[in-house]
Amino acid sequence: MSTPRVDAVSVDVAVVGGGPAGIAAAALVAETGRRVAVLDASLEPGGQIWRHRRGSPAPAAARRWLRRLERSGATLFRESSVVDVRDTEGGRFAVTAERGVSPLAVNATTLVLATGARERFLPFPGWTLPGVVGVGGAQALLKAGLEVSGRRIVVAGSGPLLLPVAASLAAAGARVLRVCEQASGRAVRAFAVGLWRHPSSLVQAARYRLAFAKTPYAMGEWVTAARGDGRVEEVTVTDGRTERTMACELLAVAYGLVPNTRLARVVGCATAHGAVVVDEHQRTTHPRAYSVGETTGVGGVDLALAEGQVAASHILGRQVDPSLLRRRNALRAMASVMERAFAPRDELRDAVTPDTIVCRCEDVPSGALRAGWTMRQAKLYTRAGMGPCQGRVCGAALEFLHGWPADRVRFPVEPALLSSILAEAADHAAPPRTQGVSR
């Protein structure tokens, strides 16, 4: 893998996102000698699933693909957040990123969007307190070296991530008091039955470890409030009949994952049900843009790898291996079973009080929002979704609470340093823009 020194590069294929899907697509294409750039926001490639502590080895499953990417000839740009993508008149994509604090311009014929997913956060009183983190968030912080030994932690929310994250917190010495899954026991068991052909050893291992630590896994239970003075000190959960309050130092809570579709929408790719629409070969509605992995619907690492490989084959003009397509389709079907099983229950809306903050960037309370509005009106009247995160956190919450789908995406997609915006204007010969410069 070459070491990038320049701040502007021209390639055949630009891959946005260095998780499993992006790595698979990039490696397979680069192995044929085509020029490929991978832009990834993190310190190391691998995405959230393959994230590991700096200086320690990557998970075994990840090593093979990371090594393959390294040997493929693809150029990897670490710590590079893409702030904008444009389809220029010359039939090329102009990708603008911030590499640390420096601007980076990548010009490419073909675009692969592998931007992954983020956690779905749903508001409740006290969710803005320090010490309330996501479930994947807790995992990410743990992998970055967070010390949790002896800490009392409640893990809550929804989805198959709860158990393995609780188990890794327990393995790191935390006292995991309770794992609260909002989905009913019946729904979770239906999901487990759907898994019978692909028994998840991860989930089984997690259950053994938690059973050993005597941590209850309560299904049909959800958080109604967190309280504390300047940080979380206690959390209340309910099963709809009985409330239970636990003293804790950390609450890890999130309701599954939602695809990151913003860049795709900037390019003009169609989305449906919150995911980027792709055809049999992972092509979006834009003829030179592909999308792979969680961006096209949350489905896990195996599906992401399969989709990356399918896209690579098609980009290379090869016949896609029919067994690969069958495998991808089976994994996709499983993903939709999972989505149904862990869909957030209606009662989660009842936890929100009028003074519960919904938009954390702008501190907009739920009571300031009106049921009949659109997302656009909410933005105009209250600034909800207008802060630095650009609705990445409150967007999914507002969709759940009010049924408001996402609003049109504006430049910049990420809050950009002024230097990247000016550099973009110069590099891509686009008119300079004055709007949308973040604070």
Residues engaged in binding another protein (CB under 8 A)? 3, 41-43, 48, 53-56, 78-79, 81, 101, 118-119, 121, 128, 130-134, 136-141, 144-147, 230-231, 360-363, 387-389, 392-393, 415, 438-439
**Residue 230 or 431: which CB sits closer to another protein?**
230
| Shortest distance (Å) from residue 136 CB to another protein | 7
Q: Which residue has the tokens 């501190």?
A: 363
Q: Around Cβ 35, how many Cβ atoms within 10 Å? A: 17
**Residue 135 or 312: which CB sits closer to another protein?**
135
What are the Cα distances from residue 322, in Å, to 280, 310, 325, 329? Answer: 11, 10, 5, 11
Q: Which residue has the tokens 């994994």?
A: 331
Q: Render 122-148 in DSSP notation, one character per residue.
A: ---TTTTSTTEE-HHHHHHHHHTT---
Which token pair is 397?
């919450």
Q: What's CA 29's distance to the chain center, in Å? A: 24
Which token pair is 62?
């990840």
Residue 170 near residue 150, CB atoms below 8 Å: no
Secondary structure in 3-state letters for 161-177 = CHHHHHHHHHHCCCEEE
| Shortest distance (Å) from residue 338 CB to another protein | 21
What are the Cα distances from residue 79, in Å, to 63, 99, 248, 370? Answer: 20, 6, 34, 39
For strands 271-272 and 275-276, give the pairing.
antiparallel
| Shortest distance (Å) from residue 254 CB to another protein | 9
**Residue 353 or 438: which CB sits closer to another protein?**
438
Which token pair is 382?
């209250």
Residue 407 near residue 375, CB atoms below 8 Å: yes
Cis peptide before 412 (omega within 30 of 0): yes
| Shortest distance (Å) from residue 48 CB to another protein | 6
| Shortest distance (Å) from residue 281 CB to another protein | 29
Residue 77 near residue 99, CB atoms below 8 Å: yes
Q: Which residue has the tokens 């470890």?
A: 209
**Residue 194 or 415: which CB sits closer to another protein?**
415
**Residue 87 or 363: which CB sits closer to another protein?**
363
**Residue 54 or 197: which CB sits closer to another protein?**
54
**Residue 146 or 192: which CB sits closer to another protein?**
146
| Shortest distance (Å) from residue 223 CB to another protein | 14
Angle between helix 322-341 and 185-194 (nearest 10): 170
**Residue 78 or 152: which CB sits closer to another protein?**
78
Residue 200 near residue 157, CB atoms below 8 Å: no
| Shortest distance (Å) from residue 362 CB to another protein | 6
| Shortest distance (Å) from residue 141 CB to another protein | 4
Burial of residue 239 (CB within 10 Å: 0-12, 13-18, 19+) is middle
**Residue 110 or 115: which CB sits closer to another protein?**
115
| Shortest distance (Å) from residue 119 CB to another protein | 6
| Shortest distance (Å) from residue 86 CB to another protein | 22
Q: Which residues, including other chains, have CB under 8 Å from residue 359's CB and lie 6 or more apart?
A: 382, 383, 384, 385, 386, 387, 391, 393, 394
**Residue 188 or 348: which CB sits closer to another protein?**
348
